[in-house]
Amino acid sequence: MKRYAYYQSCINESMTKEVDRSIELWQHDLGIEMVKMHESACCGGSNLDYVSPKHFALVNGRNIATAEKQGLDLVVSCNTCLMTIRSAKKKLDESADLRNEINEILRKEGLEYRGTSQVRHLLWVLIDDVGLDVIRKKVKNPLSKLRIAPFYGCHILRPSTVLGKDNPLEPTSLDMLLDALGGKTIPYEHKNRCCGFHTLLVAEEESLNVAAEALQEAMEQKADCIVTPCPLCHTVLDGYQGKALKQNGIKGSIPVLHLSEVVGLALGYSDRQLGIKRHIVTV
């Protein structure tokens, strides 16, 4: 059983609880264990870095140091947490001064940032550590009837200098996983575009226009559902779907599933067990 330090994303503890619930259900089936980091702090949601770059480095250096103390890689299931914590890691790895400054503070808590733990998305762990062949063999309920629009979201792709796993212009990781689960992904221009989440409270009209465009293309392509590896994208595309489509005069609706939920469905768990009933748009 390979173990990982599992970062507790704020949104998965409040609005999208079904993400962690579904991972807990199937993790052992795939030979992995996500050890919850109860001491982790909010990454700053791609805001703290400009409110105070030094607090940003401290908080995320501490998050990574906590994983390092356990000798585990830090795994997240939210794109923005991924990008944010990896950005902090990059800054800390590149600056001995910054590293020394935060370590001087962290030492009092018995922590030290060394840069030994990697910061990875759950999707990457499934592909690189578990392996698509193993996943294929474990599938009990292939998603063969589903035409899926894969929505990667921004912060698992861009900036590529911080992420670097997929080609941001032509990403393939989510498509590969969905293929291993027996699903059929459709060509989807919005796969690497934005959901609009980060301006929902600041420029709502713009955010909803962004979301509506992504939803509209998936519906026009006759997708049965959208699948995303990010709970923030899910919150806009599912929770705000009605409002976004109404604002843009678009009729219809489309279910939006979390990556962790489709893995669970393919491994034989029910929609009730996985928390899919909690979605705003009925699946």
Partner 1 sequence: MSDSTIQHHEESRDVTFRVHRFNPQVDSKPYFDDYTIRLEKGITVLRAINYIKEHVDSSLTFRAFCQAGICGSCAMRINGMSKLACTTQVWDELDKAREPGVIKVEPLRNLPHIKDLVVEMDPLVGKMQKYSNWVDSKMPEEQWGKKEFLVSEEEFLAYDKATDCILCASCVSECTILRAHKEYVSPAVLLKSYRMNVDSRDSIHDQRLAGLVQDHGVWDCTHCYRCQETCVKNIPIMDAIHGIREDAIERRGTKDTSGARHAEAFMEDIEKKGKLVEATLPIRTNGLAWTLKNLLPMAFKMVMKRRTPPPPPLVKASKGIDALRKEFKEMTSHVGKDHEKKSGE
Cα gap 261→267, rounded to integer Å = 10
Residue range at the interface with partner 1 (CB under 8 A); choices 26-34, 101-109, 215-223, 262-270: 101-109
Edge-to-edge strand ranges of the sheet holding 2-7: 32-37, 2-7, 74-76, 119-121
- Residue 214's CB: how many other CB atoms inside 10 A? 27
Using the rule CB under 8 A, give the single segment among 37-45, 119-127, 129-137, 139-147 that binds partner 1: 37-45
Q: Are 148 and 261 in contact (CB under 8 A)?
A: no
* Closest to partner 1 by CB, 165 or 279: 279
According to CB under 8 A, which residues from 237 to 276 bind partner 1? 239-240, 242-243
Please identify which residue in 97, 202, 249, 251 interacts with partner 1, judged by CB under 8 A.
Answer: 202
Whose Cβ is closer to partner 1: residue 128's or residue 189's? 189
The yes or no reply on residue 97 touching partner 1 (CB under 8 A) is: no
Structure tokens at 202: 């600041």
Cα separation, 88 vs 53, whole angstroms = 9
Shortest Å distance, C-beta 202 to partner 1? 5
221-251 residues labelled b (16+ CB within 10 A) or e (exposed): eebbbbbbbbbbbbbbbbbbbeebbebeebe
CA separation (Å) from 71 to 8, 120, 262?
Answer: 18, 14, 30
Smallest gap from Cβ 87 to partner 1, in A, equals: 10
Rounded to 10 degrees, the C-alpha dihedral 190/194/197/201 comes to -120
**Closest to partner 1 by CB, 196 or 255:** 196
Residue 109 interacts with partner 1 (CB under 8 A)?
A: yes
Closer by beta carbon to partner 1, 52 or else 116: 52
One residue of 129, 131, 193, 250 binding partner 1 per CB under 8 A:
193
206 vs 220, beta carbon nearer partner 1: 206
Binding mask 2-31 for partner 1 (x = CB under 8 A): --------xx-xxxx---------------
Nearer to partner 1, 33 or 213 (CB): 213
Q: Which two tokens stand for residue 71?
A: 């000798």
Q: Classify the C-alpha dihedral 178-244-19-59 as positive or negative.
A: positive
Measured over the CA atoms of residue 147, residue 157, residue 93 and residue 104, the dihedral's sign is: negative
List phi, psi (to 5°) of 62: -65, -45
Which of 22, 30 has the CB closer to partner 1? 22
Q: Does 35 bind partner 1 (CB under 8 A)?
A: no
Q: Which residues bind partner 1 (CB under 8 A)?
A: 10-11, 13-16, 38-42, 44-55, 58-59, 62, 101-102, 105-106, 108-109, 154-155, 158-160, 168-170, 193-194, 196-199, 201-207, 209-210, 213, 239-240, 242-243, 277-280
